[in-house]
Protein backbone atom coordinates (compact mmCIF):
# COMPACT_ATOMS: atom_id res chain seq x y z
CA UNK A 1 0.00 0.00 0.00
CA UNK A 2 1.40 3.41 -0.94
CA UNK A 3 0.33 6.21 1.40
CA UNK A 4 1.12 9.88 0.89
CA UNK A 5 0.79 12.25 3.82
CA UNK A 6 0.55 15.88 2.76
CA UNK A 7 1.78 18.33 5.38
CA UNK A 8 2.31 22.07 5.51
CA UNK A 9 5.35 24.05 6.63
CA UNK A 10 3.67 27.19 7.96
CA UNK A 11 3.56 29.71 10.77
CA UNK A 12 1.00 30.31 13.49
CA UNK A 13 -0.97 33.55 12.93
CA UNK A 14 -0.53 34.33 16.65
CA UNK A 15 3.10 35.14 15.79
CA UNK A 16 2.23 37.42 12.87
CA UNK A 17 2.06 41.19 13.31
CA UNK A 18 -0.99 42.91 11.82
CA UNK A 19 -0.65 46.58 10.86
CA UNK A 20 -3.43 49.16 11.23
CA UNK A 21 -3.85 48.85 7.46
CA UNK A 22 -4.54 45.12 7.80
CA UNK A 23 -1.20 44.09 6.35
CA UNK A 24 0.16 40.85 7.83
CA UNK A 25 3.88 40.65 8.63
CA UNK A 26 5.13 37.08 9.06
CA UNK A 27 8.83 37.94 9.29
CA UNK A 28 9.08 37.28 13.02
CA UNK A 29 7.05 34.07 12.93
CA UNK A 30 8.75 30.66 12.90
CA UNK A 31 7.24 28.05 10.58
CA UNK A 32 6.83 24.44 11.57
CA UNK A 33 4.69 21.36 11.00
CA UNK A 34 1.49 21.90 12.96
CA UNK A 35 0.15 19.52 15.60
CA UNK A 36 -2.81 18.69 13.33
CA UNK A 37 -0.44 17.63 10.53
CA UNK A 38 1.53 15.52 13.01
CA UNK A 39 -1.71 13.76 13.97
CA UNK A 40 -2.23 12.99 10.26
CA UNK A 41 1.32 11.67 9.93
CA UNK A 42 0.79 9.42 12.97
CA UNK A 43 -2.53 8.10 11.62
CA UNK A 44 -0.92 7.37 8.25
CA UNK A 45 2.12 5.85 9.92
CA UNK A 46 -0.02 3.45 11.98
CA UNK A 47 -1.78 2.31 8.80
CA UNK A 48 1.54 1.88 6.97
CA UNK A 49 2.88 -0.19 9.88
CA UNK A 50 -0.27 -2.31 9.98
CA UNK A 51 -0.26 -3.00 6.23
CA UNK A 52 3.47 -3.06 5.54
CA UNK A 53 2.90 -0.05 3.33
CA UNK A 54 5.14 2.77 2.14
CA UNK A 55 4.75 6.20 3.73
CA UNK A 56 5.71 9.24 1.63
CA UNK A 57 5.63 12.82 2.89
CA UNK A 58 4.56 15.56 0.48
CA UNK A 59 4.53 19.32 0.77
CA UNK A 60 4.33 22.30 -1.56
CA UNK A 61 5.00 25.98 -0.99
CA UNK A 62 7.39 28.87 -1.37
CA UNK A 63 11.13 28.80 -0.70
CA UNK A 64 11.84 27.30 2.70
CA UNK A 65 9.33 24.46 2.73
CA UNK A 66 12.04 22.15 1.40
CA UNK A 67 14.89 23.39 3.58
CA UNK A 68 16.83 20.74 5.49
CA UNK A 69 15.22 21.76 8.80
CA UNK A 70 11.74 21.34 7.33
CA UNK A 71 12.53 18.00 5.66
CA UNK A 72 14.08 16.62 8.86
CA UNK A 73 11.05 17.69 10.87
CA UNK A 74 8.87 15.61 8.56
CA UNK A 75 11.20 12.66 7.98
CA UNK A 76 11.83 12.16 11.70
CA UNK A 77 8.16 11.20 12.01
CA UNK A 78 8.44 7.79 10.39
CA UNK A 79 8.22 8.72 6.70
CA UNK A 80 10.13 6.54 4.24
CA UNK A 81 10.86 9.47 1.94
CA UNK A 82 9.71 13.00 1.15
CA UNK A 83 8.63 14.76 -2.05
CA UNK A 84 8.84 18.55 -2.11
CA UNK A 85 7.55 21.18 -4.53
CA UNK A 86 9.35 24.37 -3.56
CA UNK A 87 8.73 27.41 -5.73
CA UNK A 88 8.38 31.10 -4.95
CA UNK A 89 5.43 31.29 -7.34
CA UNK A 90 3.53 29.47 -4.57
CA UNK A 91 3.97 32.37 -2.13
CA UNK A 92 0.44 33.23 -0.99
CA UNK A 93 -1.03 30.54 -3.26
CA UNK A 94 -4.70 29.87 -2.72
CA UNK A 95 -6.37 26.59 -1.83
CA UNK A 96 -7.21 25.51 -5.37
CA UNK A 97 -3.75 26.22 -6.74
CA UNK A 98 -2.00 24.40 -3.89
CA UNK A 99 -4.37 21.46 -4.34
CA UNK A 100 -3.59 21.38 -8.07
CA UNK A 101 0.15 21.30 -7.38
CA UNK A 102 -0.25 18.57 -4.75
CA UNK A 103 -2.38 16.56 -7.19
CA UNK A 104 0.32 16.88 -9.83
CA UNK A 105 2.88 15.60 -7.34
CA UNK A 106 0.63 12.67 -6.32
CA UNK A 107 0.27 11.72 -10.00
CA UNK A 108 4.02 12.00 -10.44
CA UNK A 109 4.67 9.73 -7.44
CA UNK A 110 2.30 7.23 -9.06
CA UNK A 111 0.33 4.24 -7.74
CA UNK A 112 -0.78 6.14 -4.66
CA UNK A 113 -3.61 4.40 -2.79
CA UNK A 114 -4.30 6.99 -0.14
CA UNK A 115 -3.50 10.60 0.71
CA UNK A 116 -3.86 11.66 4.34
CA UNK A 117 -3.86 15.30 5.45
CA UNK A 118 -4.38 17.20 8.66
CA UNK A 119 -7.71 18.74 9.65
CA UNK A 120 -6.63 22.23 8.55
CA UNK A 121 -3.52 24.33 8.24
CA UNK A 122 -2.40 26.44 11.15
CA UNK A 123 -2.13 29.62 9.08
CA UNK A 124 -5.08 29.58 6.68
CA UNK A 125 -7.34 27.11 8.48
CA UNK A 126 -9.78 26.77 5.57
CA UNK A 127 -10.20 22.96 5.82
CA UNK A 128 -10.50 22.89 2.03
CA UNK A 129 -7.16 21.77 0.54
CA UNK A 130 -7.89 18.06 1.16
CA UNK A 131 -11.33 18.25 -0.44
CA UNK A 132 -10.15 20.27 -3.46
CA UNK A 133 -7.17 17.89 -3.77
CA UNK A 134 -9.57 14.97 -4.00
CA UNK A 135 -11.48 16.89 -6.66
CA UNK A 136 -8.25 17.55 -8.62
CA UNK A 137 -7.50 13.80 -8.53
CA UNK A 138 -11.11 12.67 -9.12
CA UNK A 139 -10.93 10.64 -5.90
CA UNK A 140 -13.23 10.12 -2.91
CA UNK A 141 -12.70 12.44 0.03
CA UNK A 142 -13.71 12.14 3.67
CA UNK A 143 -12.97 14.63 6.43
CA UNK A 144 -13.00 14.37 10.25
CA UNK A 145 -11.53 10.89 10.00
CA UNK A 146 -10.86 9.23 13.34
CA UNK A 147 -9.65 5.83 12.15
CA UNK A 148 -8.62 4.00 8.98
CA UNK A 149 -7.86 0.36 8.30
CA UNK A 150 -7.96 -2.21 5.52
CA UNK A 151 -6.32 -2.53 2.15
CA UNK A 152 -6.66 -0.63 -1.13
CA UNK A 153 -10.02 -1.58 -2.56
CA UNK A 154 -11.59 -2.21 0.84
CA UNK A 155 -10.58 0.73 2.95
CA UNK A 156 -12.55 1.13 6.18
CA UNK A 157 -12.78 4.71 7.33
CA UNK A 158 -14.32 5.94 10.57
CA UNK A 159 -15.44 9.55 10.63
CA UNK A 160 -17.25 11.93 12.98
CA UNK A 161 -20.84 12.88 12.21
CA UNK A 162 -23.09 15.12 14.33
CA UNK A 163 -23.92 13.03 17.36
CA UNK A 164 -21.59 10.13 16.69
CA UNK A 165 -19.32 8.25 14.28
CA UNK A 166 -19.90 6.53 10.98
CA UNK A 167 -17.93 3.75 9.32
CA UNK A 168 -17.52 3.87 5.55
CA UNK A 169 -16.07 1.41 3.09
CA UNK A 170 -14.26 2.96 0.13
CA UNK A 171 -13.27 0.98 -2.94
CA UNK A 172 -10.93 3.31 -4.74
CA UNK A 173 -8.17 5.73 -3.84
CA UNK A 174 -9.13 8.46 -1.39
CA UNK A 175 -8.04 11.63 0.35
CA UNK A 176 -8.68 11.52 4.09
CA UNK A 177 -8.49 14.58 6.34
CA UNK A 178 -7.66 13.41 9.86
CA UNK A 179 -9.71 14.66 12.78
CA UNK A 180 -7.60 16.53 15.33
CA UNK A 181 -8.03 13.71 17.84
CA UNK A 182 -7.53 10.81 15.40
CA UNK A 183 -4.19 9.82 16.91
CA UNK A 184 -1.61 10.93 19.42
CA UNK A 185 1.58 11.85 17.58
CA UNK A 186 4.49 9.99 19.12
CA UNK A 187 7.61 12.00 19.87
CA UNK A 188 10.58 11.26 17.61
CA UNK A 189 13.32 9.33 19.37
CA UNK A 190 17.05 9.73 18.78
CA UNK A 191 16.99 6.95 16.18
CA UNK A 192 14.17 8.67 14.25
CA UNK A 193 16.04 11.98 14.23
CA UNK A 194 19.30 10.41 13.05
CA UNK A 195 17.57 8.28 10.42
CA UNK A 196 15.79 11.39 9.06
CA UNK A 197 19.03 12.75 7.67
CA UNK A 198 19.52 9.64 5.52
CA UNK A 199 16.06 9.36 3.98
CA UNK A 200 15.60 10.36 0.32
CA UNK A 201 14.15 13.79 -0.51
CA UNK A 202 12.94 14.43 -4.06
CA UNK A 203 12.40 17.99 -5.26
CA UNK A 204 9.90 18.35 -8.10
CA UNK A 205 9.84 21.22 -10.57
CA UNK A 206 6.45 22.87 -10.74
CA UNK A 207 6.70 23.15 -14.53
CA UNK A 208 6.84 19.36 -14.81
CA UNK A 209 3.58 18.90 -12.92
CA UNK A 210 1.08 20.00 -15.59
CA UNK A 211 -0.84 22.30 -13.25
CA UNK A 212 -4.08 23.53 -14.88
CA UNK A 213 -4.65 27.25 -15.38
CA UNK A 214 -6.66 29.17 -12.80
CA UNK A 215 -10.37 29.50 -13.51
CA UNK A 216 -10.78 33.02 -12.14
CA UNK A 217 -8.89 36.22 -11.34
CA UNK A 218 -8.82 37.40 -7.73
CA UNK A 219 -7.89 41.02 -7.00
CA UNK A 220 -7.33 42.31 -3.48
CA UNK A 221 -9.34 45.49 -3.01
CA UNK A 222 -8.52 46.22 0.60
CA UNK A 223 -7.41 44.92 3.96
CA UNK A 224 -8.08 45.89 7.56
CA UNK A 225 -7.88 44.72 11.14
CA UNK A 226 -10.78 42.56 12.36
CA UNK A 227 -13.95 44.58 12.65
CA UNK A 228 -14.97 43.55 16.15
CA UNK A 229 -17.94 45.17 17.84
CA UNK A 230 -16.95 47.98 20.22
CA UNK A 231 -17.48 46.68 23.75
CA UNK A 232 -18.18 48.60 26.95
CA UNK A 233 -15.27 46.90 28.76
CA UNK A 234 -16.86 47.80 32.10
CA UNK A 235 -15.11 46.03 34.97
CA UNK A 236 -16.87 45.16 38.24
CA UNK A 237 -14.69 44.84 41.34
CA UNK A 238 -15.15 41.21 42.37
CA UNK A 239 -13.41 41.35 45.78
CA UNK A 240 -16.87 40.63 47.17
CA UNK A 241 -18.22 38.09 44.68
CA UNK A 242 -21.80 38.33 45.93
CA UNK A 243 -21.87 42.11 45.60
CA UNK A 244 -20.28 41.99 42.15
CA UNK A 245 -22.80 39.36 41.09
CA UNK A 246 -25.69 41.59 42.16
CA UNK A 247 -24.19 44.58 40.34
CA UNK A 248 -23.74 42.50 37.20
CA UNK A 249 -27.25 41.07 37.21
CA UNK A 250 -28.67 44.57 37.78
CA UNK A 251 -26.65 45.92 34.85
CA UNK A 252 -27.71 43.03 32.60
CA UNK A 253 -31.37 43.46 33.50
CA UNK A 254 -31.04 47.20 32.98
CA UNK A 255 -29.59 46.83 29.50
CA UNK A 256 -32.18 44.23 28.53
CA UNK A 257 -29.61 41.45 28.17
CA UNK A 258 -31.39 39.50 30.91
Partner 1 sequence: MSVNAWIVVGDHPTIGNLIAVARSLGGQVTAVVAGPRSVAETAAAGGVDRVVWFGAPGEAPVEAYATAVAEAIAADPGVVLGGRHSSERVLLGAVAARLQAPVLTGGHSVSAEGGEVIVAHSVFGGIAEKIVAVSGPVALVLDGGPVPPASAATPVEEVAASPLSMRVIETKMSAFEQVDLGAAPRVVGIGRGLKAQGDLVMIETFARAAKAEVACTRPLAEGLNWLGKDRYIGISGQHIAPQLYFAIGISGQLQHMAGVRGAETIVAINSDPDAPVFKDADYGLVGDLYEIVPAITGALS
Site for partner 1, residues 3 to 42, rule: CB under 8 A: 13-14, 16, 18, 22-24
CB of residue 41 to partner 1, shortest distance in Å: 18
167 in contact with partner 1 (CB under 8 A): yes
Residue 105 in contact with residue 85, Cβ under 8 Å? yes
Rounded Cα–Cα distance for residues 96 and 173 (Å)? 20
The smaller minimum CB distance to partner 1, of residues 190 and 213, is found at 213
Beta bridge partners of 155: 150, 170
The smaller minimum CB distance to partner 1, of residues 187 and 257, is found at 257
CB of residue 197 to partner 1, shortest distance in Å: 32
Beta bridge partners of 191: none
CB of residue 201 to partner 1, shortest distance in Å: 27
The smaller minimum CB distance to partner 1, of residues 73 and 128, is found at 128
Rounded Cα–Cα distance for residues 233 and 143 (Å)? 39
Is 63 buried (19+), middle (13-18) or exposed (0-12) by CB count in 10 A?
A: exposed
Contacts to partner 1 from residues 76-135, by CB under 8 A: 94-96, 99-100, 120, 122-128, 130-135
Residue 160 in contact with residue 119, Cβ under 8 Å? no
Residue 215 is given by DSSP the state S
The smaller minimum CB distance to partner 1, of residues 110 and 254, is found at 254
The smaller minimum CB distance to partner 1, of residues 82 and 211, is found at 211
Is 98 buried (19+), middle (13-18) or exposed (0-12) by CB count in 10 A?
A: buried
Backbone angles phi, psi at 75, to 5 degrees: -65, -25
67 in contact with partner 1 (CB under 8 A): no
CB of residue 235 to partner 1, shortest distance in Å: 5
CB of residue 113 to partner 1, shortest distance in Å: 14
The smaller minimum CB distance to partner 1, of residues 82 and 103, is found at 103
Contacts to partner 1 from residues 134-153, by CB under 8 A: 134-136, 138-144
187 in contact with partner 1 (CB under 8 A): no
247: how many CB neighbours lie within 10 A of its CB?
Answer: 15
Rounded Cα–Cα distance for residues 112 and 91 (Å)? 27
Amino acid sequence: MRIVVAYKWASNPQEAVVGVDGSVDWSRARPGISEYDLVAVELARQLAEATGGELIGLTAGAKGVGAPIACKAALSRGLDRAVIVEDDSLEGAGTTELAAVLAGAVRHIGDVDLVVTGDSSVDVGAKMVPTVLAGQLGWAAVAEVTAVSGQPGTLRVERTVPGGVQILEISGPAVLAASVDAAEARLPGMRDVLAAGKKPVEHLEIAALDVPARGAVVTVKGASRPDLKARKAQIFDATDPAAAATELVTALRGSGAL
